[in-house]
Chain A
Amino acid sequence: MGTIKSDKMDLLRFATAGSVDDGKSTLIGRLLLDSKSIFEDQLEAVEATSASKGYDYTDLALLTDGLRSEREQGITIDVAYRYFATPNRKFIIADTPGHVQYTRNMVTGASTADLGLVLVDARQGLTEQSRRHAVILSLLRVPHLVLAVNKMDLVDFDQEVYNKIHAEFTQFATKLNIPDLEVIPISALQGDNVVNRSENMAWYSGPTLMHHLEHVHVASDRDLIDARFPVQYVVRPKSDEHHDYRGYGGMVAGGVLKPGDEVVVLPSGMTSKIAGIDLFDREITEAFPPMSVTIRLEDDVDVSRGDMIARVKNAPQPSQDIDAMICWMTTTPLKPRQKLAIKHTTRTARALVKDIQYRLDVNTLHRDQETKELGVNEIGRVQLRTTVPLLCDPYSKNRTTGSFILIDEATGITVGAGMINSAS
Chain B
Amino acid sequence: MTETHADYRLSQLDQLEAESIHIFREVAAEFEKPVLMFSGGKDSIVMMRLAEKAFYPAKIPFPVLQVDTGYDFPEVLETRDNWVNRLGVRLIVASVEEAIANGVVVDDGKTSRNRMQIGTLLHAIEENGFTAAFGGGRRDEEKARAKERVYSHRDEFGQWDPKMQRPELWSLYNGRIHAGEHMRIFPISNWTELDIWDYIGREGIEIPSIYFSHQRRVFERDGMLLTESPFNPCRPGEVAEERTVRFRTVGDLTLTGCVESTASTIEEIIDEVAVARVTERGATRGDDRFSEAAMEDRKKEGYF
Are A40 and B11 neighbours in the complex by a CB distance under 8 Å? Answer: no
Are B170 and A77 neighbours in the complex by a CB distance under 8 Å? Answer: no
From 1 to 19 in chain B, residues with beta carbon under 8 angstroms from any chain A beta carbon are: 1, 3, 5, 7-19
Are B293 and A80 neighbours in the complex by a CB distance under 8 Å? Answer: no
Are B172 and A343 neighbours in the complex by a CB distance under 8 Å? Answer: yes
* A104, A239, A292: the one within 8 Å of B58 (CB): A239
Are B147 and A78 neighbours in the complex by a CB distance under 8 Å? Answer: yes
Are B11 and A8 neighbours in the complex by a CB distance under 8 Å? Answer: yes
CA distance A404 to B292 in the complex (A): 38
Is A156's beta carbon under 8 Å from chain B? no
**Contact segment of B21-29, B78-86, B111-119:** B21-29
Is B189's beta carbon under 8 Å from chain A? yes
CA distance A4 to B275 in the complex (A): 9
CA distance A104 to B169 in the complex (A): 10
Are A63 and B25 neighbours in the complex by a CB distance under 8 Å? Answer: no
Contacts of B169 in A (CB 8 A): 107-108, 111-112, 403, 405, 414, 417
Given A6-B12, A42-B282, answer yes or no on A233-B28 (Cβ-Cβ < 8 Å).
Answer: yes
CA distance A69 to B293 in the complex (A): 10
Q: What is the CB-to-nearest-CB distance from B298 to chain A, in angstroms, rounded to a whole number?
A: 13
From 28 to 70 in chain A, residues with beta carbon under 8 angstroms from any chain B beta carbon are: 39-42, 45, 49, 63-69
Contacts of B3 in A (CB 8 A): 284-285
CA distance A249 to B194 in the complex (A): 28
Contacts of A407 in B (CB 8 A): 174, 176
CA distance A285 to B144 in the complex (A): 42
Given A6-B12, A9-B12, answer yes or no on A104-B19 (Cβ-Cβ < 8 Å).
Answer: no
Given A78-B165, A81-B190, A291-B18, answer yes or no on A414-B174 (Cβ-Cβ < 8 Å).
Answer: yes
From 271 to 312 in chain A, residues with beta carbon under 8 angstroms from any chain B beta carbon are: 278-281, 284-286, 288, 290-292, 294, 305
Contacts of A81 in B (CB 8 A): 139, 146, 189-190
Contacts of B178 in A (CB 8 A): 412
Are A67 and B162 neighbours in the complex by a CB distance under 8 Å? Answer: yes
Q: What is the CB-to-nearest-CB distance from B175 to chain A, in angstroms, rounded to a whole number?
A: 9
**Contact segment of A82-90, A131-139, A143-151:** A82-90
CA distance A276 to B19 in the complex (A): 21
| Interface bin, chain B | 35 or more
Are B174 and A41 neighbours in the complex by a CB distance under 8 Å? Answer: no
Contacts of B192 in A (CB 8 A): 6, 83, 85, 90
Is B270's beta carbon under 8 Å from chain A? yes
From 338 to 376 in chain A, residues with beta carbon under 8 angstroms from any chain B beta carbon are: 341, 343-344, 346
Q: What is the CB-to-nearest-CB distance from B303 to chain A, in angstroms, rounded to a whole number?
A: 15
The residue of chain A having its C-beta at the shortest distance from the C-beta of B295 within the complex is A66
Is A173's beta carbon under 8 Å from chain B? no
* A42, A85, A236: the one within 8 Å of B194 (CB): A85
Q: What is the CB-to-nearest-CB distance from B69 to chain A, in angstroms, rounded to a whole number?
A: 24
Contacts of A238 in B (CB 8 A): 58
* A40, A82, A111, A242: the one within 8 Å of B170 (CB): A111
Is A222's beta carbon under 8 Å from chain B? yes
Is B106's beta carbon under 8 Å from chain A? no
Residue positions of B touching A, CB distance < 8 A:
1, 3, 5, 7-19, 21-22, 25-26, 28-29, 52-59, 139-140, 142-147, 162-163, 165-172, 174, 176-178, 189-190, 192, 194-195, 198-199, 202, 270-271, 274-279, 282-283, 292-293, 296
> Ordered nearest first, which 8 A-B pairs have the shortest CB separation?
A66-B143, A41-B282, A412-B176, A11-B12, A292-B21, A237-B58, A233-B25, A292-B18
